[in-house]
Structure 1
Amino acid sequence: MGGQVHRSTQDGVAILEIDNPPVNALSQDTRRALADALMRAESDPDVGAIAILASGNTFVTGADMAEFGQKPREPHLPDVVDRIESSAKPVVVGWHGTALGAGCEIGLAAHRRIMARHARVGLPEVKLGLIPGAGGTQRLPRLVGLPAALDLVATGRLLDAMEAFAIGLCDEVTDGDIREATVTAAKSLIGKMQQRLSVRPALPPDTGAWEAMVQKVRREAKNRLAPLRAIDLIHQTLSMPYALGAPAERRTYLDLMASDQSRALRHLFQSERAVRKLPGLSGTKPLPEGAIGIIGAGTMGAGIAASLIEHGFSVVLVESGDSALQAGRERLATLMARAIRSGRIADSQRAEIARRVSFTTDLAALARSPLVIEAIFDDRTVKADLIGKLEALLAPTALIATTTSALNHEALADGMQRPERFLGLHVFSPAQVMRLIEVVRARRTSLDALAAALDLARRLDKIAVVCAPCEGLIGNRILAKFRAQCEFMLEEGALPAEIDRALEAFGLAMGPFAAQDLAGLDIAWARRKRLAETRNPAERDVPLVDKLCELGRFGQKTGKGWYLYRDGKREPDSEVERMIRIHAASTGRRPAALTPEAIQTRVLAAMVNEGAKLLSEGIAARPLDIDLVMVHGYGFPVWRGGPMQEADARGLRAVLAQVEANASRDGPAFSVALLLHDLLAQGRNFASLNAPETASPARQPQPAVRA
């Protein structure tokens, strides 16, 4: 049997203790047990009040994810929650750890809420594309007011105990034992009638405060449905009784549960947890203690150092010369100052942080480091030489990591005596902000090295996706196909602004041409020149970025790129548009009907096709790995769940048709991945390839379906 509810009695108070480890999710068994315990407490003449608590380190953290997307099972959560509120005997809830979703709604139905000092509470359903479904949108406004309720429901943010107390979400904060405080509060209510929150009228809010919050939610929703639906549900509490509002909330909840958006967001939620639990790593060792070495104090190195320091690590930062070292010191100081201003680090920690970081030009200072991360410029000869020096210096068990995504990891390991200790850590920039790391397991990388890298990522609160080495790894390889399709469309009649608008409507925060201008066109130009000798002459190529760079148009930093920049504003440049039209005419290609939908479909197909190839080659183990990389590293809209999830939502047959059109028009680099045909032939989709066993790090890369 699943969750239980332990029942005991103390001083006339029935103590109901929810026990469904590890996080006390309200599964069907737990709901049934809670409903039964409530009924027995209500009918017990020796009980005058009820206290609801939870075992372990946390209160209820929500509904059971395993039931999401299935037909609702009785007893339904709203019925159990309503049973709490309608109890003839006072009910007090004690929140400790985290009280999330259903855990918060249980408290809202109670007649008094006690909160442990270090507990947190919230309604994070919006992060799964949902709204609260057990009265949360109807009771919360009646308790804390409409603006505060909308803020909590639409953002999903969590409140600490003092924040919750300040807005009236909890009645008491205790530094003592939560059980004792809750039972004491319940005992004090014996014999006293309590008003139900559902019958309390919602007070009209200050018009300005409400409108400001509504505008904030609309602005930040960015195509997400749940925050927008929350606005109407919360506002209706002013005019609609709970008896009508609660069914409306439930209908909205079930509608959203069936939506593509919620499926996509739940997919990402579960995927983030899946990558933390790779099979085959039992018995491996975590990263040993010691100062982590970073070689290269540029933007990437300083960002990695800042992230490490913020999470309690000691760091030794190494540069090649005094001037570069001083620049790195200043760069890191700037990042630390920002972290302090934002509240991520307390100002009182300045001295302690200073003791945990050292700067040097001497590699010997790294001799005792358990891990050294090289973040120097991408030159194979220079990196290989550095790796050789590190191997001679470090302890045999110390790990050596490279941040490159462009160079061949296997080749970098070839000269090593202990290649099993070498791996890639492709950290995304800015490293102190971005949560994604592509962890590159080369052919000879040991399981211990991999486990240590994943342990580091966990301690940094980053999402680590394991992949095999290849040019560009997962993300940059897919990005190259995405960008190529965008540039191909320039030859077929589209302009940069049209493509950017179409893809921003798709959900990207910034279109590809605006993004290239922001990053600097010289970056893509340098890569093109590096790959020029190996480029297949049969592949379709658009040299426009070369022409822009030859004219000194490197993007925002020069005031000109794909766009023109004046007074900080981006605008289309007639000179670039003329250049594009002349080039397009020279290709002899017929203009295409490139509607926004056609643009979106073409680039999605290119991404999905390349993702399928990465799966077949064993570079990526599962489609969910690709989705996480593209969402958290490259700005693919989170509410679409990633390109592979989006392909499943649209249907693989429709996606394959566009992939075949791309292949016919654009040449061998866009040839159709055989995996797409295999999945269709077998009646499967990408989600069917997300089984946990496919991610085993001990497994050699294999085609995802075909042998």
Structure 2
Amino acid sequence: MSDLIHYCLEDGMALIGLCRPPVNALSQRMRVAILSACERAAADTEVKAIILHGVHGLFCAGADIAEFGTDAAFAEPSLPDTLMRISEIDKPVIAAIGKLALGGGLELALACGYRIGEPGARLGLPEINLGLIPGAGGTQRLPRLIGAESALNLILSGEQVDAERARLLGILDRVADNAESLLDEAQAYGRELIGAAAPARPAEQCPKPASDLPEDFFSRFRESQEPLWKKRLAPRLVTSALEAACLLTLKEGLARELALFQQAEASTQSQALRHLFFAEREAGRIPDIPADLPLRSIRKVAVIGAGTMGGGIAMNFVNAGIPVALLEQQSAALDRGLTQIRNNYEISVKRGKLTTAQVEARMELLYGTLDYADLADADLVIEAVFEKMEIKQQVFQTLDQVCKPGAILATNTSSLDVDAIAMSISRPQDVIGLHFFSPANVMRLLEVVRGKATAPDVLATTMQIAKRIGKLAVVSGVCFGFIGNRMLEPYSREAHRLLLEGATPAQVDQVLTGVGLNMGIFSMQDLAGVDVLYLIRQANRTASVHDESYCRMGDELYALQRYGQKSGRGFYRYEGRDRREDPEVVALAERLSSELGISRRAIDDQEIHDRCLFMLINEGIQLLDEGIALRASDIDLVWINGYGFPALLGGPMHYAEQIGLASVLAGIQRYRSELGAYGEMWFKPAPLLERLVAAGKTHIERF
């Protein structure tokens, strides 16, 4: 038959098993194989019913995303045509859903007349997460099955529902007793249908999907959701497709859905989100680390420092069922840290995300101590102490004495030299940087900093443990600030310089949030703490790259005790949660401009955009050229998951490709020429950018 399909005839039923590991993705070859098998079964007079199932348990996780944007996506037979033909077969077709039926996989199941799932199955239409809409009948068949409002909510959320909820919604007809009996129960279901002379398709449960909704439901829904959708295209297209399901015949609705899907697929937003989908899968691949390298065992973790960061780090591990020793110098600090962790969990209980029993189970995995000797049996130790080299080196020298051989010793530094820390002890091969982002129990990003001496199995083990605790790990080499904070330096420098040249904090921030960033640079610095950033600068003056204009605004605000949100004043004034522009900051910028001999002028939004973002991009390209980042897509992941860069733009490197590398280079060269001595000093194009443009390259890659 096909290497992608297992076909057999049993008791008057054709069992069609999908066999394209790991997830039975519906590539063009897979569609051919499924359709051929179904046509064979439809034409065989001995076949009274058809069962589609996954040979290795998993039903189908959807379309082959690698085909999107290529001719293969709609090569014959297209997925919509394949599913239409399955829906027209004049015999009962049963989908036996094991593990997953997502996206095109659920659309395949919806094209069948009947559905049964194992108890642990998860079903959903998550295309929205890729800036897409279901394009093979999901927006048309689902509302006719469960109603328009339920279908709209499920598709817009991208949520995966379990088998029992799917049954209650009406997506599944039955739930099998267990995964092992799924196929047997599907066959029993088939025998029942044959015995009852059941129709190939039962009558639609909701032939008029919006019959229970007000006439103005969709217009009111759009109005209520617009502020939440912001610039996102896909939710608007989903809503239009669901509205079509309520107004058109199935055939007309499917045609409308396909047109909307193709609009979404061609959008820059979906291209960006698909770029990130593949970037996440690529990030875990380290070129010189073999996939079968034996890993170190991580059964117990220790965290040094019970402050906000240390406590958040500890929570990650106990959440994954890994015991943690939390060390502090003083009992009062330790008690505060443990209390804060419990309070964090109690908030989750109030929100219904955890039970009290689950909180107690996690707290039992957490052991507070004041004695380094209690870390002797830890497999992984992470320090989260004050960001000062001397303090961190002292901690590591103590760990060198008390920790067992082979223990991984990690620093949570956000900018310090990991190699300098490693070389201060006798086992630098065991040292690695694990830069968690605050709040560490919430933020998904983890920069894994590979030192010159870091052993391959230490790197591989930390990448694996990061996945285990639900983090997105991105490898960085050693340099000041690693990937994220090093790129933050020129981005922040230009924002500060623009204040001195005539822009206001609100104007700069509005340009950046207008692009889609979660926060502008100055509101972000007020949130982080002007004092915190000042102290970091002081601790790293010799390592960081800065100039007088970059530091002076922050230094002056610190001297005025304008620490940001915590003090009610920073780059803005704060009245409760409300942020207000502050004329005093503008006056301060004017005074500093005069002292520094900087001419002030009106600055347009395009200049703010280009200077901030082009220098951010330029630094990223330089990091790639230096080998600090393994690939451009890793940089995109860092900035989206750690710094609020909009996913709809795909990250700064992908955004540069959309703008055009030649345009980015021309912009940098323009400001290098126009800004005099300042431009000559700071607007130096990365050599890799110049080489890429000279070679006519459109994608950022090291060469």
- TM-score normalised according to structure 2 size: 0.94
The Cα shift of 1:336 comes to: 2.4
Counterpart of 1:693 in structure 2 is: none
**Alignment correspondent of 2:691:** 678
Question: Is the Cα–Cα contact under 8 Å of residues 141 and 234 in structure 1 kept in the other structure?
Answer: yes
Given that 2:209 and 2:245 are in contact with CA atoms closer than 8 Å, whether structure 1 keeps it comes out as yes
1:485 matched to 2:531: no
Would the aligned equivalents of 2:563 and 2:570 in 1 still touch at CA under 8 Å?
A: yes
Q: Following TM superposition, by how much is the alpha carbon of 1:534 offset from its aligned partner in structure 2, in angstroms? A: 6.3
| Aligned residue number for residue 105 of structure 1 | 107
SS state of the match for residue 481, structure 2?
coil
Deviations along 1:62-86, one digit per CA (max 9) or x if unpaired, are 1112212111211100011111111
* Deviation digits for residues 530-549 of structure 1 (CA, Å, limit 9, x no counterpart): 34456778775351222222
SS at match of 1:202: coil
| Structure 1 residue 297, shift from structure 2 partner | 0.5
User: Is 1:502 aligned to residue 511 of structure 2?
Assistant: yes
Say which is worse superposed, 392-401 or 189-198, in terms of deviation: 189-198
Residue-pair matches, total: 690
- 1:186: Cα distance to partner? 2.4
Q: Cα–Cα, structure 1 residues 401 and 534, in superposed 2: closer, same or farther, change >3 Å? A: closer
The amino acid across from 1:467 in the alignment is S
Partner of 1:255: 263
Q: 1:235-266: per-residue Cα shift (whole Å, max 9, x none)? A: 12221112222112112212222221111111
| Whole-angstrom distance in 2 between the partners of 1:49 and 1:508 | 53
The Cα offsets for residues 494-539 of structure 1, whole Å up to 9 and x where unpaired, read as 1111111111111011211111111111122223333445677877
What is the aligned partner in structure 1 of residue 209 from structure 2? 202
- Establish whether residue 235 from structure 1 lines up as the match of residue 237 from structure 2: no
Aligned in 2, Cα 1:98/1:611: closer, same or farther, shift over 3 Å? same
User: Which deviations, in whole Å up to 9, do the C-alpha atoms of 1:302-361 show, x marking residues without a partner?
Assistant: 001111111111100000111111111111111222344445544323443233111100
Of the three residues 159, 182, 186, the one matched with 1:182 is 186
CA contact (8 A) 1:611 1:644 kept: yes
User: Identical aligned pairs, as a percentage?
Assistant: 38
Q: How far is the alpha carbon of 1:165 from its aligned partner? A: 1.7
Cα deviation 1:612-655 (Å, max 9, x = unaligned):
11111111111011001000011000111100001111110111
CA distance in 2, matches of 1:400, 1:607: 31
Specify which of 394, 407, 412 is matched with residue 403 of structure 1.
412
Q: Which of 155, 158, 182 does residue 156 from structure 1 map onto? A: 158
C-alpha distance in structure 1 between counterparts of 2:227 and 2:150, whole Å? 17
SS of the aligned residue for 1:131 comes to coil
After superposing the two structures, state which structure 1 stretch, 336-345 or 435-444, moved more: 336-345
5+ unaligned residues in a row in structure 2: which ranges? Answer: none
**Alignment partner, residue 681 of structure 2:** 668
1:570 to 562, 574, 579: 579
Contact 1:85 1:196 in 2 (8 A): no
* Matched-pair contact (CA < 8 Å) for 1:150–1:213: no
Query: How far apart, in 1, do the equivalents of 2:421 and 2:486 lie?
Result: 19
Tell me, yes or no, if the aligned pair for 2:218 and 2:239 is still in contact at 8 Å: no
Q: Aligned AA for 1:594?
A: I
- Distance in 2 of aligned mates of 1:672 and 1:167: 56
- What residue identity is the alignment partner of 2:67? E
Match of 2:35 in 1: 35
- SS for the counterpart of 1:439 is strand
Whether 1:10 aligns to 2:23 is no
Task: Give the Cα separation in 1 of the matches to 2:313 and 2:203.
Answer: 51
Hey, what's the Cα distance between the residues in 1 that align with 2:224 and 2:60? 30
> Which residue is equivalent to 1:267?
275
Question: Residues 310 and 345 of structure 1 are in contact (CA less than 8 Å); yes or no, is this contact kept in structure 2?
Answer: no
The 8 Å contact of residues 364 and 393 in structure 1, kept in 2 or not, is answered as: yes
In structure 1, stretches of 5+ residues that fail to align are: 690-703
How many angstroms does 1:211 deviate by? 6.3
Q: 1:591 to 1:252 in 2, by over 3 A?
A: farther
CA contact (8 A) 1:606 1:662 kept: no
Does the aligned pair in 2 maintain the 1:85–1:110 contact within 8 Å?
yes
**Residues 10/348 of structure 1: CA separation in 2 closer, same or farther (3 Å cut):** farther
Q: 1:579 aligns with which of 584, 588, 591?
A: 588
Q: In 1, Cα distance between the equivalents of 2:339 and 2:255?
A: 58
CA contact (8 A) 1:538 1:667 kept: no
Question: Contact 2:500 / 2:549 at 8 angstroms: preserved in 1?
Answer: no
**Aligned partners of 1:517, 1:37: CA distance in 2, in Å?**
62
- Paired letter, 1:18: L
Q: Does 1:226 align with 2:210?
A: no
Distance (Å, rounded) in 2 between the aligned partners of 1:443 and 1:120? 43
Say what the alpha-carbon RMSD is for the aligned residues: 2.1
Q: What TM-score, normalized by structure 1, do the two folds share?
A: 0.93
Range with greater deviation from structure 2 (499-508 or 188-197): 188-197
Aligned mates of 2:603, 2:429 — CA distance in 1: 49
Task: Provide the C-alpha distance between the structure 2 equivalents of 1:10 and 1:617, rounded to a whole number of angstroms.
Answer: 61
Q: What is the aligned counterpart of 1:142 among 141, 144, 150?
A: 144
The residue matched to 1:675 in structure 2 has which SS?
Answer: helix
Residue 519, structure 1, aligned to residue 532, structure 2: no
Matched residue of 1:317: which SS? strand
The match for 1:441 is 450
CA contact (8 A) 2:298 2:380 kept: no
The answer to whether the 8 A contact 1:413-1:419 is kept is: yes
Q: Pick closer, same or farther for the CA change 1:574–1:350 going to 2, 3 Å.
A: closer
